[in-house]
Amino acid sequence: MRPVTGRRLTAGDVLTFSELRYLERVSGLRSAALVAHAWSIVAAAMIVHVLWPSTLTLVAAIVVIGARQFGLAVLVHEAVHWRLFRQAKTNDRVARWLCGFPVGGVELPRYRKRHHQHHRHTRQPEDPDLALSEPFPVPRATLYSSIGLDLVGITAGARLIAAWRQADDRSHACHQLKGPLLVNLVLFGTLTALGHWHLYFLLWLLPLLTWYQVLTRIRDLAEHSLTPHTEDPLRNTRTVSAGLLTRFLVAPYWVNYHLEHHLFVFVPCWKLRAAHDLLLAKGYGPEMEIAPSYTAVIRGVTAA
Evaluate whether residue 86 is within a structural domain: yes
Q: Check whether 1 has a pLDDT greater than 80.
A: no
Q: Check whether 148 has a pLDDT greater than 60.
A: yes
Evaluate whether residue 1 is within a structural domain: no
Rounded Cα gap, residues 262 and 251, in angstroms: 17
Which residues form the domain of 280?
Answer: 11-301
Rounded Cα gap, residues 146 and 76, in angstroms: 25
Tell me the percentage of the chain whose pLDDT exceeds 70: 94
Residue type, 269: C
- The reported pLDDT for the residue numbered 164 is 72
Evaluate whether residue 6 is within a structural domain: no
Q: How many domains does the chain have?
A: 1
Evaluate whether residue 4 is within a structural domain: no
Indicate the pTM of the whole model: 0.94
Evaluate whether residue 217 is within a structural domain: yes
Q: Check whether 189 has a pLDDT greater than 60.
A: yes
The arithmetic mean of pLDDT across residues 184-208, rounded, is 98
| Contact indicator for 100, 72 with CB cutoff of 8 Å | yes
Evaluate whether residue 2 is within a structural domain: no
Q: What is the pLDDT of residues 21-78, one digit of tens each?
A: 999 999 999 999 999 999 999 999 999 999 999 999 999 999 999 999 999 999 999 9
Evaluate whether residue 169 is within a structural domain: yes
Tell which wins on pLDDT, 175 or 159.
Answer: 159
Evaluate whether residue 5 is within a structural domain: no
Q: What is the pLDDT of residues 153-164, one digit of tens each?
A: 999 999 888 777
